[in-house]
A and B are shown apart, each in its own frame.
Chain A
């Protein structure tokens, strides 16, 4: 059943726009929610499966957005010492790839820097990193336009040689693009978690000394997790840039990281479905509340929903529901039985 559930959800999401009709307002909410959910899934890879909290996760998202946007817009920057870098616009799809790679590279750097010490240090390094990147985006006006924002970012164009190209301009097309990228990220995470690499991550999270003693390389494992997580966040950021077609330094807002943490924790960290469920609930809650109450009241309800979820299901919605489904008494522990090794 647990295998059918994600498929059912995917089928539901594929069919959703058909059921809703072409309401641009709802589609926009779904697209932004989907992008944030991809961010939450990437955060869950670190927070849920390795136990490391990246409170600057939005940095990778923003780097993906800016690299992707700048690659497709082109730039002309004076670096000093008479050095001048001129970049002609490239297709947006290449921007998407470069944004993903650049974010992954930053994940590698941050992982290398902080995973020798881990824990609180990782939290601090990630927060600082996000703030530094935000200040760069704000102040390097020649490259990023600063608070004036990068505008006119082209939409993503998909194309195959010989088959022609296909530019994703409409909301419906972007919805399916986000859904496709999200599904791909889900598959990558699912494969990883079920592999030897996933077992190494779980081992480190549950009992680090023991994990080291069975030969698991902590720094390498955590760094690889950080690279994959950061690259996925970068991919989400790139989707965001090419969908909105305008980005400013506000994409680095700390509150967005907090939203992702809420999605992961409320949905159930360390589960595959958790961030998706959390992302859909907390991404779409404002949409559901908007017609019925004032903005101030919406945020109060948002907080209340979060508190109630964590009060009723402290480990999150997905583990909580899974626990309800298979709640059965565990048999009493019998005494040690000798195995073949000791039966003589």
Chain B
């Protein structure tokens, strides 16, 4: 089966800083793949390249065979590639319901030939009702039905994450990129979220995940791609990644930990 997303030798440089050196991997349709690596490894940068927020200095990203180079974020979303954000995942001043209504933006486009005119003369009624029903159904599905009329910015952190997922799902994506979705969630919230991810996959959505919560990543992923200092250092199923020496080195940082210990010892001696 041809990959739904293929990242081919992508590099990103900010001036002299190499954020991503040479990233190369594929995601097959229906997979749950995790992209992991220590802080600053280039994971979010990779997401920004895939969704058009950053232009790669080299290489190419293809989604369902379409090269994404030069496409704006909203155009990539319309191809069926949606994402969530690490920190700000909601429209804070709107209700949860209105958040999802904003997220359904591209579905209202088909209701008429001149949507703006329809709105002005009040012809958009039927389309709007259909949208509202969809928003309610989607909120119920992710478990935010009871929160529909709350202001999104006032929700608990974990619930804001769910709103972010609902917004991304509202675009009816074929593939969903989740940027650290469970950071800041407690253990039980994380468990609920893992089940939600599996449910999303069962709806036919391919998932690529950036996450620091290793037990969660090991549990949910079909495959894991490991980045360090902008380089791909390992890729494979969770069991193989768990025992990969390069990954252990990157995470436990034998070298760096030893250096830090030595430096601390020196400082202590100087004092």
Chain A complexes with chain B:
yes
| CB under 8 Å from chain A, chain B span 155-203 | 155-156, 158-159, 162, 164, 167-168, 170-171, 185, 188-189, 192, 195-196, 199-200
| CB under 8 Å from chain B, chain A span 314-344 | 330, 333, 335-342, 344
Interface presence of A212 (CB below 8 A): yes
Interface presence of A183 (CB below 8 A): no
What per-residue 1/0 map shows which CB atoms of A205-229 lie under 8 Å from chain B? Answer: 0110111111111100000100000
Interchain CB contact under 8 A, A341 and B106: no
Interchain CB contact under 8 A, B122 and A215: no
Interface presence of B65 (CB below 8 A): no
Q: Among B11-19, B72-80, B249-257, which stretch is in contact with chain A?
A: B72-80
Interface presence of A192 (CB below 8 A): yes
Interchain CB contact under 8 A, B88 and A216: no
Interface size on B, residues (CB 8 A): 59
How far is the CB of A269 from the nearest CB of chain B, in Å? 12
Interchain CB contact under 8 A, A342 and B199: yes
Interface size, A (range): 35 or more
| CB under 8 Å from chain B, chain A span 22-55 | none
Interface presence of A188 (CB below 8 A): yes
A224: chain B residues within 8 A (beta carbon): 116
How far is the CB of B152 from the nearest CB of chain A, in Å? 9
Other-chain residue from B51, B89, B155, B196 in contact with A341 (beta carbon distance below 8 A): B196
> How many Å lie between the Cα of A216 and that of B196 in the bound state?
26
Interchain CB contact under 8 A, A336 and B106: no
B188: chain A residues within 8 A (beta carbon): 335-336
A214: chain B residues within 8 A (beta carbon): 77, 82, 102-103, 105-106, 167-168, 170-171
Residue of B nearest to A342 (CB): B195
Interchain CB contact under 8 A, A338 and B192: yes
Interface presence of B204 (CB below 8 A): no
A195: chain B residues within 8 A (beta carbon): 115-116, 119, 124, 128
Interchain CB contact under 8 A, B140 and A200: no
A200-B102, A213-B85 are contacts. A340–B116 as well, Cβ < 8 Å? no
Interchain CB contact under 8 A, A336 and B196: no
Give me 13 A-to-B residue pairs in the complex whose CB atoms sit less than 8 angstroms apart, sorted by A's number.
A188-B120, A192-B116, A200-B102, A210-B88, A212-B77, A214-B77, A214-B103, A214-B171, A216-B105, A333-B159, A336-B143, A336-B159, A337-B146
Closest 4 CB pairs of A and B: A339-B143, A195-B119, A215-B106, A212-B73
Chain B interface (Cβ < 8 Å from any Cβ of A): 51, 53, 72-74, 77-78, 82-83, 85, 88-94, 98, 101-103, 105-106, 108, 115-116, 119-120, 122, 124, 128, 131, 140-146, 150, 154-156, 158-159, 162, 164, 167-168, 170-171, 185, 188-189, 192, 195-196, 199-200
Chain A interface (Cβ < 8 Å from any Cβ of B): 188, 191-192, 194-197, 199-200, 202-203, 206-207, 209-218, 224, 330, 333, 335-342, 344
Other 5 A-B pairs with CB < 8 A, given A213-B77, A340-B140, A342-B199: A192-B119, A211-B102, A214-B168, A215-B74, A216-B105
